[in-house]
Amino acid sequence: MSWTDDRTRPIARGVLARFGPMGGTGEEHPRYEVFIGLFWSSIWLFWLIQPFADAWRNPDPFTSTVGMAAVLAFALVYCWHFLHRSAIFSDHARTQVAHWRSAANLGRYALLVALAVLCIVTIGQSGTTAAIFTAISGMWTFPLRVAVCLSAVYGVLYAVSWSKVPGWHADPGSLVGLGFATVAVFAGALANRRQRALDESRLENAQLAIQAERNRMARDLHDILGHSLTVITIKAELAGRLLDVDPERARTEVADLERLSRAALTDVRRAVEGFREISLAGEITRAKSALESAGIDAEVPRALDEVPEDVQEVFAWTVRESVTNVLRHSQATRCEIEVGPGRITVRDNGIGVTSPTGGNGLTGLRERARLAGATLTLAPVQPHGLAVSMAVPGEGNR
Strand order in the sheet with 334-339: 297-299, 334-339, 343-348, 386-391, 375-380
How far apart CA 350 and CA 330 sit, in angstroms, is 5
Closest C-alpha to 3, from 271, 215, 195: 215
Q: Does 269 reside within a domain?
A: no
- In angstroms, the CA 166 to CA 378 distance is 90
**Domain closes at, from 181, 208, 235:** 208
Are the C-beta atoms of residues 344 and 337 closer than 8 Å to each other? yes
- Does this model's pTM top 0.75? My answer is no
Q: Would 24 be classed as within a structural domain? A: yes
Residue 266 located in a structural domain: no
Residue 361 domain flag: yes
Domain identity same for 204 and 314: no
| Ranges of residues in the chain whose predicted pLDDT is under 70 | 1-41, 85-101, 213, 216-217, 219-220, 222-225, 227, 270-277, 353-360, 395-398
The answer to whether residues 170 and 315 belong to one domain is no
Measured on CA atoms in the order 126, 129, 130, 135, is the torsion positive or negative?
Answer: positive
Q: What is the pLDDT of residue 306?
A: 86
Local structure of 142: helix, strand or coil = coil
Domain count, the chain: 2
Separation between Cα atoms, residue 139 and residue 293, nearest integer Å:
75
Residue 140's alpha-carbon distances to 143, 147, 278, in angstroms, are 8, 8, 57
70, 62 Cβ separation under 8 angstroms: no
Tell whether 80 and 188 lie within a shared domain.
yes
- Helix/strand/coil for 297: strand
For 14-65, the pLDDT digits (tens) are 544 444 444 444 444 456 555 665 666 677 788 888 899 999 999 999 999 9
Does 47 lie in the same domain as 155?
A: yes
Select from 208, 235, 268 the last residue of a domain.
Answer: 208
Do 192 and 92 have their domain in common?
Answer: yes
Range of the domain at 319: 297-398
SS3 call for 2: coil
Q: Is residue 54 part of a domain?
A: yes
Rounded Cα–Cα distance for residues 341 and 374 (Å): 13
**CA 345/CA 326 separation, integer angstroms:** 13
58 and 160 assigned to the same domain = yes
Q: Over the Cα atoms of the chain, what is R_g?
A: 37
Distance of CA 161 to the CA centre of its chain: 53
| pLDDT at residue number 33 | 57
Residue 372, pLDDT score = 86
Give the number of other Cβ atoms within 10 Å of residue 339's Cβ: 21
Which of 158, 188, 208 corresponds to the end of one domain? 208
User: Domain with 312 in it: what CATH number?
Assistant: 3.30.565.10
* Type and span of the H or E element at 344: strand 343-348
Q: How many residues does the chain have?
A: 398
The answer to whether residue 232 sits within a structural domain is no
Three-state secondary structure string covering 214-255: HHHHHHHHHHHHHHHHHHHHHHHHHHHHHHHHCHHHHHHHHH
DSSP-H helix ranges across the chain: 9-19, 30-42, 49-57, 61-82, 93-100, 103-123, 128-137, 144-164, 172-245, 247-273, 280-293, 309-325, 359-372
199 plus 324 within the same structural domain = no
